[in-house]
Amino acid sequence: MFGTVGHFLLWSVGLAGAETQTSPAEQEALARHAAGRRRCVEIGVWHGVNTRRIRTAMDPAGTLTGVDPFPPGRLGFSIPRIIALSESMRSSNGTLRLVRKTSHEAAIRWSAPLDFVFIDGDHTYDGLRTDWNAWRPHVVIGGIVCLHDSHPTPARPIQDAGSVRFTDEVILPDPRYQVVEIVETLTVLRRRE
């Protein structure tokens, strides 16, 4: 209704909140599965709503790396990045790093093991394939991977979305992962031994 700049102005004066495409139930599931985790990555930060939830829930000695390219808009800077920084700093738990790269660019130099990954970036078939192939090798046994927009619901009939098709065709049959739960469009997986 207001556009990006209009929303930013309303947000700046406290008349609008940070935006997210996750539901309250999905946010609760993310927090529940991030609880106590120490090495976390979020792919696709947007306004940082889920970043804050994950950061608040993770181990106080943990590190959360949020990966998003935050491309500059018409005004030459990234409004979502400004909002995400503010939103994610509402929690002081653990260490937060925001990496301004695509998922693939960030993963190329990544070497640390991970015990929590939330993939909410490019929801196309090829986009999720790229994210899955880039980050899956870093997940430790017992680690959690959460996939947004990976399951259709009556309220969100997204069965034709690339992210749903890739999840159904490639991820769910992968014997290295088991489904822990599905909360609306969010699929939560644990890496097996």
State the average pLDDT over residues 187-191. 98
Measured CA to CA, the distance from residue 145 to residue 143 in angstroms comes to 7
| Residue 155: how many other CB atoms lie within 10 Å | 9
What's the CATH fold of domain 18-191? Rossmann fold (3.40.50)
Q: pTM of this prediction?
A: 0.95
Write out pLDDT tens, residues 157-185.
Answer: 999 999 999 999 999 999 999 999 999 99
Non-local (6+) Cβ contacts of 11 within 8 A are 17, 18, 83
Write out pLDDT tens, residues 138-148.
Answer: 999 999 999 99
Write out pLDDT tens, residues 32-65.
Answer: 999 999 999 999 999 999 999 999 999 999 999 9
* Residue 39 and residue 62 in contact, taking contact as beta carbons nearer than 8 Å: yes
